[in-house]
Amino acid sequence: MERVAALEGVGPATASAVLAAHRGDLYPFLDDVIGAAIPAFGEPKFTLPYYIRYAQAIRDRAQELGSPWTAQDVGLALCSAAGGKAGSR
């Protein structure tokens, strides 16, 4: 994550999108709607320290749910449950 996010013009959200496409089991997409579904983290932030905590929490939930759940699957489920971008208005 750190290497991809360090590329010029690439922040944690874009890096997470690239990595989620390649390794959805480890790297969920960083999204404000999904972040808002994890109230213990406070307001979603597009920073690397926030992403590290966010990703670990989502990976932990995927592990609790068991196979075939991946971190990306859990993130998508949280986004869907919140109504997606339309639900965040």
Q: What is the pLDDT of residue 84?
A: 86
Query: Could you tell me which of 52, 55, 11, 4 has the C-alpha nearest to residue 34?
Result: 55
Interacting residues of 72 by C-beta distance below 8 A, sequence separation 6+: 20, 24, 25, 27, 28, 29
Q: What is the pLDDT of residue 89?
A: 54
Neighbours of 88 (CB within 10 A): 13
pLDDT in tens, the chain (89 residues): 889 988 999 999 999 999 999 999 999 999 999 999 998 989 999 999 999 999 999 999 999 999 999 999 999 999 999 888 886 55
Q: What is the pLDDT of residue 14?
A: 95
Residue pair 61/74 in contact (Cβ under 8 Å)? The answer is yes
Q: What is the pLDDT of residue 72?
A: 95
Q: What is the pLDDT of residue 65?
A: 97
Q: What is the pLDDT of residue 6?
A: 86
Neighbours of 83 (CB within 10 A): 11
What is the value of pTM for the model shown?
Answer: 0.87
Residue pair 75/63 in contact (Cβ under 8 Å)? The answer is no
